[in-house]
Protein backbone atom coordinates (compact mmCIF):
# COMPACT_ATOMS: atom_id res chain seq x y z
CA UNK A 1 0.00 0.00 0.00
CA UNK A 2 1.30 3.45 -0.96
CA UNK A 3 1.87 5.96 1.82
CA UNK A 4 0.31 9.44 1.42
CA UNK A 5 2.09 12.41 2.96
CA UNK A 6 0.37 14.89 5.26
CA UNK A 7 1.36 17.69 2.84
CA UNK A 8 -0.56 15.98 0.00
CA UNK A 9 -3.63 15.52 2.20
CA UNK A 10 -3.60 19.22 3.23
CA UNK A 11 -3.27 20.39 -0.38
CA UNK A 12 -6.15 18.16 -1.42
CA UNK A 13 -8.33 19.38 1.44
CA UNK A 14 -7.67 23.05 0.65
CA UNK A 15 -8.38 22.46 -3.06
CA UNK A 16 -11.66 20.71 -2.24
CA UNK A 17 -12.78 23.47 0.14
CA UNK A 18 -12.05 26.26 -2.37
CA UNK A 19 -13.65 24.37 -5.24
CA UNK A 20 -16.67 23.57 -3.06
CA UNK A 21 -17.12 27.21 -2.04
CA UNK A 22 -17.03 28.29 -5.68
CA UNK A 23 -19.41 25.52 -6.68
CA UNK A 24 -21.92 26.47 -3.98
CA UNK A 25 -22.28 29.88 -5.53
CA UNK A 26 -21.10 33.42 -5.68
CA UNK A 27 -23.36 34.28 -2.74
CA UNK A 28 -20.74 32.72 -0.43
CA UNK A 29 -18.15 35.18 -1.69
CA UNK A 30 -20.38 38.25 -1.95
CA UNK A 31 -22.82 37.76 0.91
CA UNK A 32 -24.52 41.04 1.73
CA UNK A 33 -22.95 43.04 -1.09
CA UNK A 34 -24.25 44.58 -4.30
CA UNK A 35 -22.29 46.07 -7.17
CA UNK A 36 -23.96 49.18 -8.54
CA UNK A 37 -23.16 51.14 -11.69
CA UNK A 38 -24.75 54.42 -12.66
CA UNK A 39 -24.47 54.14 -16.42
CA UNK A 40 -26.86 57.07 -16.96
CA UNK A 41 -25.93 60.70 -17.68
CA UNK A 42 -27.52 61.79 -14.35
CA UNK A 43 -26.42 61.81 -10.72
CA UNK A 44 -28.55 59.05 -9.17
CA UNK A 45 -29.17 57.67 -5.70
CA UNK A 46 -29.48 53.90 -5.39
CA UNK A 47 -31.94 53.03 -2.61
CA UNK A 48 -31.80 49.37 -1.55
CA UNK A 49 -34.85 47.82 0.08
CA UNK A 50 -35.04 44.46 1.83
CA UNK A 51 -37.77 42.00 0.85
CA UNK A 52 -39.90 43.53 3.64
CA UNK A 53 -39.73 46.95 1.91
CA UNK A 54 -37.48 48.41 4.61
CA UNK A 55 -34.75 50.73 3.28
CA UNK A 56 -31.46 49.15 4.33
CA UNK A 57 -28.94 51.21 2.34
CA UNK A 58 -28.63 54.08 -0.06
CA UNK A 59 -25.81 55.77 -1.88
CA UNK A 60 -25.53 58.62 -4.36
CA UNK A 61 -23.49 57.57 -7.39
CA UNK A 62 -22.04 59.87 -10.03
CA UNK A 63 -22.60 59.00 -13.69
CA UNK A 64 -20.04 56.78 -15.40
CA UNK A 65 -19.54 59.41 -18.10
CA UNK A 66 -17.81 58.67 -21.37
CA UNK A 67 -15.45 56.05 -19.97
CA UNK A 68 -15.10 52.83 -21.90
CA UNK A 69 -16.93 49.83 -20.46
CA UNK A 70 -13.60 48.18 -19.57
CA UNK A 71 -12.57 51.26 -17.54
CA UNK A 72 -15.74 51.37 -15.44
CA UNK A 73 -15.80 49.96 -11.96
CA UNK A 74 -18.98 49.49 -9.96
CA UNK A 75 -19.66 50.92 -6.54
CA UNK A 76 -19.55 48.11 -3.99
CA UNK A 77 -22.29 48.53 -1.40
CA UNK A 78 -22.15 46.41 1.77
CA UNK A 79 -25.56 45.55 3.17
CA UNK A 80 -26.57 44.59 6.70
CA UNK A 81 -27.56 40.99 7.29
CA UNK A 82 -30.27 39.60 9.50
CA UNK A 83 -29.85 36.05 10.77
CA UNK A 84 -33.49 35.96 11.94
CA UNK A 85 -35.05 36.52 8.51
CA UNK A 86 -34.06 36.64 4.86
CA UNK A 87 -33.56 40.13 3.49
CA UNK A 88 -33.48 38.98 -0.12
CA UNK A 89 -34.58 39.45 -2.76
CA UNK A 90 -33.66 43.12 -2.66
CA UNK A 91 -35.21 45.95 -4.66
CA UNK A 92 -32.91 48.67 -6.00
CA UNK A 93 -34.64 51.98 -6.71
CA UNK A 94 -32.60 54.45 -8.78
CA UNK A 95 -33.74 57.98 -7.93
CA UNK A 96 -32.95 61.34 -9.52
CA UNK A 97 -31.57 64.21 -7.43
CA UNK A 98 -35.09 65.64 -6.94
CA UNK A 99 -36.50 62.28 -5.83
CA UNK A 100 -38.13 61.25 -9.13
CA UNK A 101 -37.75 57.59 -10.12
CA UNK A 102 -35.23 56.78 -12.85
CA UNK A 103 -35.58 52.97 -12.76
CA UNK A 104 -36.34 50.07 -10.40
CA UNK A 105 -34.80 46.60 -10.27
CA UNK A 106 -36.68 43.90 -8.39
CA UNK A 107 -35.61 40.38 -7.35
CA UNK A 108 -31.98 41.40 -6.78
CA UNK A 109 -29.71 38.95 -4.94
CA UNK A 110 -26.49 39.41 -2.99
CA UNK A 111 -23.50 39.70 -5.30
CA UNK A 112 -25.54 41.00 -8.26
CA UNK A 113 -24.17 43.68 -10.59
CA UNK A 114 -26.91 46.27 -11.13
CA UNK A 115 -26.78 48.94 -13.84
CA UNK A 116 -29.28 51.81 -13.71
CA UNK A 117 -30.25 51.60 -17.40
CA UNK A 118 -30.85 47.84 -17.32
CA UNK A 119 -33.64 48.16 -14.74
CA UNK A 120 -37.17 49.00 -15.97
CA UNK A 121 -37.93 52.72 -15.80
CA UNK A 122 -38.39 55.98 -17.67
CA UNK A 123 -34.61 56.69 -17.82
CA UNK A 124 -35.04 60.42 -17.42
CA UNK A 125 -34.49 62.98 -14.70
CA UNK A 126 -35.93 66.48 -14.63
CA UNK A 127 -33.30 69.19 -14.94
CA UNK A 128 -29.80 69.24 -16.31
CA UNK A 129 -27.54 66.31 -17.09
CA UNK A 130 -24.25 66.12 -15.22
Q: How confident is the model at residue 49 (pLDDT cuts 50, 70, 90)?
A: very high
CATH code of the domain in which 77 resides: 2.60.40
20 and 39 fall within a common domain: no
Across 9-31, average pLDDT: 40
64 and 9 fall within a common domain: no
DSSP secondary structure string for all residues of the chain: -----HHHHHHHHHHHHHHHHHHH-GGGTSTTEEEEE--SSS-EEEEEE-TTS-EEEEEEE---TT--GGG--PEEEE----TTS--PSEEEEEEETTS-EEEEEEEE-TT-EEEGGGSSB----SS---
| pLDDT > 70 fraction of the chain, expressed in percent and rounded | 58
pLDDT, residue 19, reads: 40
pLDDT, residue 34, reads: 85
47 and 81 fall within a common domain: yes
- Regarding predicted confidence, which is higher, 96 or 71? 96
The model carries a pTM of: 0.66
63 and 97 fall within a common domain: yes
Range of the domain at 10: 1-29
- 22 domain residue, yes or no: yes
- 130 domain residue, yes or no: no
For 75-120, what is each residue's pLDDT tens digit? 666 666 655 667 889 999 999 998 999 999 999 998 899 999 999 9
11 and 21 fall within a common domain: yes
95 and 105 fall within a common domain: yes
Q: How confident is the model at residue 14 (pLDDT cuts 50, 70, 90)?
A: very low
Average per-residue pLDDT for the chain = 73
24 and 44 fall within a common domain: no
Whether 57 has a pLDDT exceeding 80, the answer reads yes
Amino acid sequence: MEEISLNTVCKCLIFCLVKGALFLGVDVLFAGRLFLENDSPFVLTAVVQASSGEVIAQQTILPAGNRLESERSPTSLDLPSSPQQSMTPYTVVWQCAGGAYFSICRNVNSGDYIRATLCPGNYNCPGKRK
